[in-house]
Amino acid sequence: MGYSRRTLLVTGGLALLGLPACSVAGDDTADDGSGKVEVFSWWAGPGEKEGLEALVADFRQRNPGIEFDNAAVAGGAGTVAKTVLATRLENDDPPDSYQAHAGLELDADIEAGYVEDVRYLYDQQRWRDRLPKGLVEALTFDGKIYSVPVNIHRANLLWYNPATLEGHGLTPPATWSQFLTQAAALKAKGILPLSIGPTWTQKHLLECVLLGELGADGYTGLWNGATDWKGAPVQQALTLFVKVLDQSDIATAAGDWQPALDKVVAGTAAYNVMGDWADAYLRTKGLVFQEGYSVAASPGSEKVYNFLSDSFTLPRGAPRRRAAEQWLIECGSVSGQDAFNPQKGSVPARLDADKSKYTGYLALAIAEWTDSATRVVGSLTHGVVAGTKRSAAVDAALVLFVQDRDAVKFAAAVSG
- Enumerate binding residues for ligand GAL (CB under 6 A): 42-43, 48, 76-78, 101, 153, 277, 308, 310, 382
CB of 76 to ligand GAL, least distance (A): 4
Q: Which is nearer to ligand GAL, 48 or 96 (by Cβ)? A: 48
254-268: buried (b, 16+ CB within 10 Å) or exposed (e) per residue? bebbbebbbbbbeee
Closest to ligand GAL by CB, 229 vs 312, is 312
Q: Are strands 304-308 and 147-149 parallel, antiparallel or unpaired?
A: unpaired
CB of 277 to ligand GAL, least distance (A): 4
Whole-number minimum distance, CB 49 to ligand GAL, in Å? 10
Sheet holding 97-101, edge to edge: 67-70, 36-40, 97-101, 310-313, 147-149
| Cα(89)–Cα(70) distance, integer angstroms | 17
Distance CA 410, CA 225 (A): 16
Q: What Cα–Cα distance (Å) separates residue 363 from each residue in 279, 306, 360?
A: 12, 17, 6
Task: Give the shortest CB-290-to-ligand GAL separation in angstroms.
Answer: 23
Nearer to ligand GAL (CB atom), residue 101 or residue 316: 101
- CB 48 within 8 Å of CB 74: no
Q: At closest approach, how far in Å is the CB of 317 from ligand GAL?
A: 25
The answer to whether the beta carbons of residues 176 and 231 sit under 8 Å apart is no
Q: What is the 3-state secondary structure (H, E, C) of 336-380?
A: HHHHHHHHHCCECCCCCCCHHHCCCHHHHHHHHHCCCCCEEEECC
Nearer to ligand GAL, 48 or 213 (CB): 48
Nearer to ligand GAL, 113 or 149 (CB): 149
Q: Minimum Å distance from CB 158 to ligand GAL?
A: 17
Pick the closer one to ligand GAL by CB: 41 or 227: 41
Neighbouring C-beta atoms of residue 96, cutoff 10 Å: 29
Q: How far is the CB of 362 from ligand GAL (least distance, A)?
A: 14
Q: How much is the CA Rg of the chain, to the nearest whole Å? A: 21
Residue closer to ligand GAL by CB (options 77, 191) is 77
CB of 78 to ligand GAL, least distance (A): 6
Residue 77 Ramachandran class (φ > 0 left, ψ -120 to 50 alpha, else beta)? left
Compare residues 76 and 193 and give the one whose CB is closer to ligand GAL: 76
- How crowded is the C-beta side of 333, counted as CA atoms within 13 Å? 14
